[in-house]
Amino acid sequence: GFECFRDECSCHPVRYFAILSMQRSGSGWFETLLNNHTNISSNGEIFSVKDRRANVSTIFETLDKVYNLDWLSSASKNECTSAVGFKWMLNQGLMKHHEEIVEYFKTRGVSAIFLFRKNLLRRMISVLANSYDRDAKLLNGTHKSHTHSAKEAEILAGYKPMINTTLLITELKQIQEMTSKALTYFNTTRHILVYYEDVVKNLTRLDDVQEFLKVPKRKLKSRQVKIHGGTLSQHVQNWEEIQTTLKGTSFENFLLQEHRK
């Protein structure tokens, strides 16, 4: 799209994007990295508000607002915003109305950045711990989904969930199916697939994303601190049982302990 009425940067092309992800896949951290770039403006998880995804027309209305730069925070950056978007979770109307949304993306030239997590077991632990904290509010009575200090991370990681191993394989399969479905639905749109683990291991993966968004390459930083670092076994109560359940299945590699960040 072209915007020709913004004084400070007349006729500056603006790219539209959406980060398509799932809860607890590192998208909060990923978004802080993108927002660290002066030319990128990503507006958070706008469809977490149910009214905005009530039906296709409210979805389109909301998208129009973001991409017309009418969203409160989108144009607030001092330099020219040349890429504007937000993050959209698969379960926030995206899969349900995928046909219309794909049409919209194509018509308006919206690029999709898929951000998925390879280790779905780690993601599950994070989901359980996060929903526990929603009630328990471990940090001075407030619930935090993301942390900015090692101390906060340590407190939140102190809670060790118990994984229901009877449902484990079924649940992992469901998540895998959902992600591959999403990729199939949106494969005709302009898109890039990024894995959280690849960004963690190698920040040059962010260069690919910047190239994809056609913004100048910058070194991007985030102040967020990972909650569940270190080995997996220390973050769950029933590690032995989980090992037994996954050994010999296609999910066995999720048991690998190695993890950085």
Does 200 map to a domain? Answer: yes
Does 260 map to a domain? Answer: no
Does 261 map to a domain? Answer: no
Does 17 map to a domain? Answer: yes
Mean pLDDT of the chain: 86
The pLDDT of residue 13 is 79
User: Residues in the chain with pLDDT < 50?
Assistant: 1-7, 10-11, 78, 260-261
Does 95 map to a domain? Answer: yes
The pLDDT of residue 143 is 66
User: For residue 243, what is the DSSP state?
Assistant: H
Domain count, the chain: 1
Q: What is the CATH number of the domain that holds 14?
A: 3.40.50
Q: Report strand pairing: 83-89 vs 40-42.
A: parallel
The range of the structural domain enclosing residue 112 comes to: 2-255
The whole-angstrom separation of Cα 241 and Cα 14 is 51
Residue 193 region, left (φ>0) first, then alpha (ψ -120 to 50), else beta?
beta
Place of tokens 């199916």: 177
Q: What does the block give as tokens for 86?
A: 């937000």
- pTM (predicted TM-score): 0.86
Does 39 map to a domain? Answer: yes
The pLDDT of residue 79 is 55
Does 166 map to a domain? Answer: yes
The whole-angstrom separation of Cα 91 and Cα 120 is 16
pLDDT digit string (tens) for 2-53? Answer: 444 444 554 467 899 999 999 989 999 999 999 999 999 999 999 999 999 9
Does 180 map to a domain? Answer: yes
